[in-house]
Structure 1
């Protein structure tokens, strides 16, 4: 889906993600839904704040296959996100640390055929309850195509 690169667009992306997960069998109050909604909120806020190019939107892609929920947020800036920790007193700058802590793995890939990048995160699910199993330290993959 495509959203305007505004705070409203980021909020709408998070809400639509939560709604879609509910439709896919992950109820609103489930760990999977809440975790993916939070990751989506962080990635879309970064796309709006750091990936915004005037007149360009950001894209959100959500997939579920083989027990893996994957969130992809694509913007038009090629700069990769920074993951260094910030001053504990800072009011911002810890979003990707949160993404790393909540996801099974995450990373960035260059945008194919256009300027920009995709920041993605995955959650591994298990069993009939399909609860989130990998909340903890994530593994950062090197930049470049992933699959």
Structure 2
């Protein structure tokens, strides 16, 4: 089933000011909404979703900001597909996304690398005004314990202590 055409089981849509305070509120709203949907604050999904929202919202207020225009956070819980879709829309469609900084030691440009590592899939959709950057997270962990071939990093096992 195409994720863009599926019907969400639950949805949150909120417009927020395109400021650092708005980005912080987006992260807190995400944590609370997921808690209300049954994914506690200390769950892996809640933590991952907060990181993804933090990156996408920071990009929206830093690079997608148009004076006087808000950004929009949209969370879609799709239970038949076991997916959480996160969408952050801003009013700036004329700026290309930077996937990585040219200077590896620079202060920015790596947020979308983090999104790539945390999300099952992500992308950009153009709108009449602006763009929507979206990411999807699996609600359940993969059944296989092997992380070979996965886009996610393998968890590290602590070294034994003698």
TM-score by length of structure 2 reads 0.76
Q: CA RMSD in A?
A: 1.8
Match of 2:74 in 1: 61
Distance apart, 1:81 and its partner CA:
1.1
Distance apart, 1:124 and its partner CA:
1.4
Distance apart, 1:132 and its partner CA:
7.3
Change (3 A) 1:86 1:25: farther
SS at match of 2:139: strand
Match of 2:6 in 1: none
Structure with bigger gyration radius:
2
Contact 1:70 1:123 in 2 (8 A): yes
Match of 1:143 in 2: none
Runs of 4+ in 1 over 4 A off after TM superposition: none
SS at match of 2:105: coil
Contact 1:43 1:73 in 2 (8 A): yes
Matched ranges for 1:22-101 at <5 A:
22-65=35-78, 66=80, 67-78=82-93, 79-101=95-117
How many residues are matched? Answer: 131
Q: Deviations over 1:59-85 (max 9, x none)?
A: 000011021001000001112312134
Show structure 1 runs of 5+ residues with no match.
Answer: 139-147
Task: Work out whether 1:107 is the aligned partner of 2:123.
Answer: yes
Match of 1:144 in 2: none
